[in-house]
């Protein structure tokens, strides 16, 4: 069976529309950066960045096999989209495996212990916090840099070295060509890429109060594996808008995270309805946008170690209440694209 077949007729409409938007925004963004002059720079950056954001969230959809009927075809789409949002240096299989372990084990499964890294490299930490103060996502740039050189840095990924080198060469040549033809277009792409990783980490930063464990390639499994009650108590839904549901389409409804964890096979367009079926019409079941923005601004230099003055560590229902009143640092550098 070689034809890409959508899982449902409804899915064919919703997924096709979102994918066409992502591709159109991506292509239009590049065109504006090259041909739009000064007046086209900002809209070009925004369109390019949002096209990559939707592509990234579609990779997440593919990881859960919500788009097509077979794992193979979901994987093929994800591999294509990886070239758009820059996650193609490693494999989609690694992304899917790490993310599904997150769901099954109720854990943030990691290889890279970034807290230990920053403790051992205080000057890098100081530079990172300074750049974060300037709203430059330095912590995420570090994580995505590891992703680019994944087979060189992670011993367990050495078998991917030839693929890694090939992708680096191709993407490097393409970016060099862009720099030669139009340096401002390259600058626009770099800003758009930062917008993408900022949005991904902004949304992910409050969706769980899980600790992270460096057991990606071996180690003890979380004691909470398979505990669905614990999972829901420690999962949260930071949405963009409660009143205007369609606003959440800007991130493919990824903020409805309780609903997603309750039914990981539900496609993005069903999550708002599923949330209301499971948790009712009470807006107190979600974290609204304003406190999310306040926390992102207020604690931007503390988020690596979650050590802002006056902020105590809370979890479960207390975490939700604290987040709703902007009294949490939130997480940092979380992304399903960085599979380590």
Reading the block at residue 99, the tokens are 């993310």
Which of 19-28, 202-211, 271-280 has the lowest average pLDDT?
A: 202-211
Same-domain pairing of 133 and 218: yes
Q: Rounded to two decimals, what is the model's pTM?
A: 0.95
Same-domain pairing of 130 and 219: yes
Same-domain pairing of 217 and 75: no
Query: Degrees (nearest 5) of the Cα angle 62, 63, 66?
Result: 50
Same-domain pairing of 116 and 56: no
pLDDT value of position 102: 95
pLDDT category at 60 given cuts 50, 70, 90 is: very high
How far is CA 47 from its chain centroid? Answer: 18
pLDDT category at 3 given cuts 50, 70, 90 is: confident
pLDDT value of position 301: 92
How many domains are there within the chain? Answer: 2
Sign of CA dihedral 306, 312, 314, 319: negative
Q: What are the helix (H) ranges across the chain?
A: 9-35, 37-63, 71-85, 92-105, 114-120, 122-133, 138-148, 150-153, 161-181, 183-204, 228-233, 257-262, 271-279, 289-298, 317-324
pLDDT category at 313 given cuts 50, 70, 90 is: confident
Q: What number is the average pLDDT over the span 311-322?
A: 88
Tens digit of pLDDT for each residue in 155-186? 999 999 999 999 999 999 999 999 999 999 99
Same-domain pairing of 47 and 142: no
Reading the block at residue 46, the tokens are 């925004």
pLDDT value of position 305: 87
User: Of 85, 118, 153, which residue constitutes the final position of a domain?
Assistant: 85
Residue 247: pLDDT over 80? yes
Q: Please identify which residue in the block is written with the tokens 């890098």.
A: 124
pLDDT value of position 205: 92
Same-domain pairing of 142 and 205: yes
pLDDT value of position 173: 98
Same-domain pairing of 13 and 160: no
Q: What number is the average pLDDT over the span 27-33?
A: 98
Distance, in Å, from the CA atom of 181 to the CA atom of 3, rounded to the nearest integer, reads: 38
Q: What number is the average pLDDT over the span 230-240?
A: 97
Greater confidence, 247 or 310?
247
Flag whether 100 is in a domain.
no
User: Of 56, 85, 114, which residue constitutes the final position of a domain?
Assistant: 85
Flag whether 180 is in a domain.
yes
Distance, in Å, from the CA atom of 23 to the CA atom of 236, rounded to the nearest integer, reads: 30
Flag whether 253 is in a domain.
no
Same-domain pairing of 187 and 227: yes
Kindly report the number of other CB atoms within 10 A of residue 104's CB atom. 15
Flag whether 143 is in a domain.
yes
Same-domain pairing of 1 and 37: yes
Percent over 90 (pLDDT), the chain:
91
3-state secondary structure of 95: helix
Residue 312: pLDDT over 80? no
* Contacts (Cβ under 8 Å, ≥6 apart) of 111: 154, 156, 214, 216, 217, 340
Flag whether 273 is in a domain.
no
Residue 1: pLDDT over 60? no
Same-domain pairing of 306 and 338: yes
Flag whether 55 is in a domain.
yes
Reading the block at residue 328, the tokens are 């949490």
Q: Tell me if 70 sits within 8 A of 47, measured CB to CB.
A: no
Query: Degrees (nearest 5) of the Cα angle 171, 335, 321?
Result: 155
Same-domain pairing of 178 and 294: yes
Flag whether 249 is in a domain.
no
Residue 81's domain comprises 1-85
Same-domain pairing of 75 and 126: no
pLDDT value of position 212: 85
Query: Degrees (nearest 5) of the Cα angle 85, 255, 133?
Result: 65
Flag whether 161 is in a domain.
yes
Residue 87: pLDDT over 70? yes
Tens digit of pLDDT for each residue in 107-159? 999 999 999 999 999 999 999 999 999 999 999 999 999 999 999 999 999 99
Q: Which of 214, 241, 171, 191 is nearest to 340 (CA)?
A: 214
């Amino acid at each position: 069976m070689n034809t890409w077949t959508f899982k449902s007729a409804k899915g064919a409409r919703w997924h096709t529309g979102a994918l066409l938007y992502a591709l159109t925004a991506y292509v239009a963004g590049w065109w504006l950066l090259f041909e739009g002059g000064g007046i086209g720079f900002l809209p070009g950056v925004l369109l390019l960045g949002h096209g990559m954001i939707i592509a990234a969230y579609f990779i997440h959809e593919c990881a859960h096999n919500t788009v097509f009927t077979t794992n193979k075809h979901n994987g093929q789409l994800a591999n294509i989209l990886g070239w758009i949002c820059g996650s193609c240096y490693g494999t989609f299989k690694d992304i899917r495996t790490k993310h599904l372990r997150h769901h099954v084990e109720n854990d943030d499964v990691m290889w890279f212990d970034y807290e230990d890294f920053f403790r051992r490299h205080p000057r890098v930490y100081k530079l990172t916090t300074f750049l974060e103060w300037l709203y430059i996502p330095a912590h995420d740039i570090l994580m995505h840099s590891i992703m680019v050189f994944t087979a060189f840095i992670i011993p367990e990924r050495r078998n991917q070295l030839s693929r890694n080198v090939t992708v680096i060469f191709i993407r490097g040549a393409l970016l060099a060509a862009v720099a030669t033809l139009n340096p401002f277009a390259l600058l626009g792409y770099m800003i758009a890429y930062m917008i993408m990783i900022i949005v991904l980490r902004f949304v992910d930063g409050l969706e769980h109060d899980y600790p992270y464990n460096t057991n990606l390639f071996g180690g003890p499994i979380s004691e909470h594996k398979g505990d669905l009650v614990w999972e829901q108590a420690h999962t949260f839904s930071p949405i963009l808008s409660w009143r205007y549901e369609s606003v959440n389409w800007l991130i493919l409804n990824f903020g409805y995270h309780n609903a997603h964890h309750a039914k990981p096979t539900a496609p993005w367009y069903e999550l708002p309805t599923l949330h209301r079926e499971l948790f009712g019409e009470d807006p107190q079941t979600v974290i609204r946008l304003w406190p999310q923005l306040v926390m992102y601004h207020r604690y931007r230099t503390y988020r690596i170690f979650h050590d802002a003055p006056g902020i105590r560590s809370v979890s479960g229902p207390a975490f939700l209440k604290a987040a709703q009143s902007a009294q949490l640092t939130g997480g940092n550098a979380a992304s399903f694209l960085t599979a380590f």
